[in-house]
Amino acid sequence: MDKYSLYSIPFQHQFSSILLLQYVQSRKASPGGALVSALEAGKILADIHGISFLENGVMKNNATDRLVREIDDFGMPVYHLLPMTSYKRYNIVSMRGCPFDCGYCASTAIFKKRVRFRSPADVVNEIEYLMDTYGDRHFWFSDDTFTVYHSHTKELLSLLEERNLRIRWSCLTSVNTVKPDLLELMRNTGCKYISYGIESGNSALLQQWSKKIAAKCIVETSHLTHSVGIPHYGFFIFGFPGETWDTVYDTYKLIYDCQMDGGGMNILIPLPGTRMWEFVYEKKKLFDLDKME
């Protein structure tokens, strides 16, 4: 490898941001390329678009003038600089962004509902490299919604079959983005479980925060996933503004009706840049779980 770049990704948090070290083909391919060039030239960080940094203990967030369209150009992460023996699974992405507009999700704030895809061949090349270099481990597709565009997902999974790469993998997606034929292909290519972002069993709360799924769709998809033979889990959020013990019961009943294999229960955390952040902090609509009716 001949060149390295720091690719800057703001992690929408009021106290900190993350700089991810990543190998790219050209120093000019991303904000990270501009960052490296500026550091080499001794220039100030305030002039570099698309980065976040600390200045005298204060977080500065520079505006992003554009999102790099061809994310294949970033290349693979610099795995040889990471303690790969410490990881029990591989995290990999096939796309960045999500087209949905959930009012509590940082993806909407960061990527502005734009989705940019890696080419299926580029993803599979990385999978093959990891298998050959570091051995067989579980793969977790870290995409916001792995099955949001069926044609891309099917092409990627079909390429795994063509190359005879028998991997074990899982993903996060939404209940309204899967169909029977896609689920069967996922099972046949080694999908060991699916995590569905559900958030609540109360339709009013889901609609209020633009989670455009209905309880009926959730239950039907859960039963469909079971019928195909893929274990699945649900991710849920408690503490939405307007949450009551009745809405909590709606979520409990939904989980029971779906007979999921497991789930993750989380307390709502308003994230900067989201409508939820604006509602809770800027409009001072604080919600006390201890006083929930």
Looking at the chain, the domain(s) classified CATH 3.20.20.70 span 83-291
Q: Give burial (CB, 10 Å; 0-12/13-18/19+) of 262.
A: exposed
Six-digit token pair at 40?
A: 């080499």
d(CA 157, CA 138): 15
Beta bridge partners, 191, equal 169
Give the DSSP letter of residue 205: H
pLDDT of residue 151: 96
Question: SS3 of 131, please?
Answer: helix
Q: Which pLDDT tens digit goes with each residue over 240-270?
A: 998 999 999 999 999 999 999 999 999 999 9
Confidence check: pLDDT of 164 > 70: yes
Kindly tell me if the per-residue pLDDT of 223 is higher than 90.
Answer: yes
Q: Which of 47-51, 184-188, 273-277 has the lowest mean pLDDT?
A: 47-51
CA dihedral 19, 23, 29, 31 (to 10 degrees): 10
Who's near 100: CB < 8 A, 6+ residues apart?
108, 113, 145, 174, 210, 211, 212
**Domain 83-291 adopts which CATH fold?**
TIM Barrel (3.20.20)
202 pLDDT higher than 90? yes
The token pair at 97 is 């962004």
**Token digits for 166?**
């028998």
